[in-house]
Amino acid sequence: MKSKKTFNKSICCIGAGYIGGPTMAAIADHNHDRKVIVVDINKARIDAWNSDKMPIFEPGLDEVVKRRRGKNLFFSTDIDGAIKQCDIIFVGVNTPTKTFGRGAGCASDLQYWEATARNIVKVANRDKIVVEKSTLPVRTAEAMERILSNHPKFHFEVLSNPEFLAEGTAVKDLEAPDRVLIGGHQTPRGKAAIKALAEVYAAWVPKEKILTTNLWSAELSKLAANAMLAQRISSVNSLSALCEATEADIDQVAKAIGMDSRIGPKFLKTGPGFGGSCFKKDILNLVYICENYGLKEVADYWRQVVLINDYQQERMVAGIIKTMFNTLANKKLAVFGFAFKANTSDTRESPAIAITKLLAAERAQIVITDPEALGHVSGDLGELAANVETTEDPYEAAKGADAIILLTEWEQYKALDYKKLYKAMRKPAFLFDGRNILNHVELKSIGFEVKGIGKP
């Protein structure tokens, strides 16, 4: 008879999204002695994780999942079964911005998190470590503990272990993180739980990169890290407007300031504004928390980061209208890129959504091309989608167009045959490089009217 494989402390993750899937795949890949189960209420998503086509596009993820799936990595809709089997329960459900009631438009909607906590209490069969993987408002663990402490027999120790991976580089970020942050109570039980979780990561992350803090510091550090990253982008984008007014070049300015070792070169690339599911949501959440603690000035400071982001998109469209003789009506515009950044199919809060809507309001005819994200166009644009065309072929998109508007920095857009594109377009042919990734001198010599962002 075959001997049954025994596993060390088993792990499950509730929520099989952009965070749950890749994070658990990395943990399984480095902890062959642990069973890792990823569960979700969304059956289609679980089916996709169990198929040949992953539900999210993430370079290198297929290989990791296929390496461990069915061995020590499992995807399932049996949430209760996973809670029962596992000792460490990660919760990676979505925490979107609240759209109703008090705090609408700012606060985190914690209904999915709370439902998960209540379910853990309902079905647990022994003590568990419950790990906050979702990004949550500081002091959420307090509320969770109150729900989890309702069990007459079992104890649930709550840890905060926020995730810092970025989409498009998730596998690389998980493989070699800058740090792993684990926050917990500084009590004997809390310290034991921190140690148990640290052991999971120590399977591949150097010990000095595993940082342990109190619960509230870990929760707040996640919001703070995203706010600081987004703030750099808004800072550089605000300066891009001043560059256009003064004939300075934002890429030269960014390089010059980034060479100061105290500032550093990363996250200083101007563009159409930051997108992605988290920056805006997390800053607004920070704003809401500050207001709740009576820190109005602090709230106003962070809110400005979001306002500059909106301004950058409006500014870009205003520039397009002005350059194209103050009318876009019936002009054909080819939008290159719909994903919020390259190497992902994710379009949540993509600047392309707001920009397309503003262009459509000018009654332009819009064709969108993107190598991975076209599946989201109709959902993201709602009623407008009926008037917008899509094609995977950028040459097709540009045929007869008055302008190309590049919004996502896909590597393949650098390698296109711009002479061929120019030939197929109506003249004058405009090219708005929203990411400053193309060779503007060369494009001008072909005949394009080129506009970058923050360029003289």
Catalytic residue set? 278
Q: Does residue 274 belong to the site contacting ligand UGA (CB under 6 A)?
A: yes
**Residue 438 near residue 415 (C-beta atoms within 8 A):** no
Q: How far apart are CA 254 and CA 343, in angstroms?
A: 23
What is the biggest distance separating any 2 CA atoms in the chain, rounded to whole angstroms? Answer: 79
Binding mask 168-207 for ligand UGA (x = CB under 6 A): ----------------------------------------
308: contact with ligand UGA by CB under 6 A: no
- Helix, strand or coil for residue 360? helix
CB of 90 or CB of 448, closer to ligand NAD:
90
Among ligand UGA, ligand NAD, none, the one that 140 touches (CB under a kind-dependent 5 to 8 A) is: none
- The conformation of residue 456, written as its DSSP 8-state character, comes to -
128 binds, among ligand UGA, ligand NAD, none (CB under 5 to 8 A by kind): none
Say how far apart CA 212 and CA 216 lie, in whole Å: 11
Stretch that binds ligand UGA, among 33-41, 91-99, 158-166, 185-193 (CB under 6 A): 158-166
94 or 135: CB nearest ligand UGA? 135
Q: Binds 341, which of ligand UGA, ligand NAD, none (CB < 5 to 8 A, cut-off by type)?
A: ligand UGA
Name, in order, each residue with C-beta under 8 angstroms of 341's C-beta and a sequence gap of 6 or more: 167, 168, 275, 276, 408, 409
Asked if 132 interacts with ligand UGA (CB under 6 A), we say: no
Q: How far is CA 184 from CA 195, 212, 215, 414, in A?
A: 10, 8, 4, 46
Q: Which positions lie near ligand NAD, rule CB under 6 A?
A: 14-20, 40-42, 45, 79, 92-95, 112, 115-116, 134-135, 163, 165, 167, 277-278
Question: Count of CB atoms within 10 A of residue 300's CB?
Answer: 13
Among 55, 92, 177, 276, binds ligand UGA (CB under 6 A): 276
How many CB atoms within 10 Å of residue 70?
A: 9
Q: How far is the CB of 232 from ligand UGA (least distance, A)?
A: 7
Q: Nearest 5°: CA angle at 182, between 143 and 134?
A: 55
Task: Give 390's strand partners.
Answer: 368
Note whether 341 binds ligand UGA by CB under 6 A.
yes
Please give the distance of CA 301 from its chain centroid, rounded to a whole number: 23
Minimum distance, C-beta of residue 321 to ligand NAD, in the bound complex (Å): 33
Residues 214-273 that bind ligand UGA (CB under 6 A): 226, 229, 233, 267-269, 271
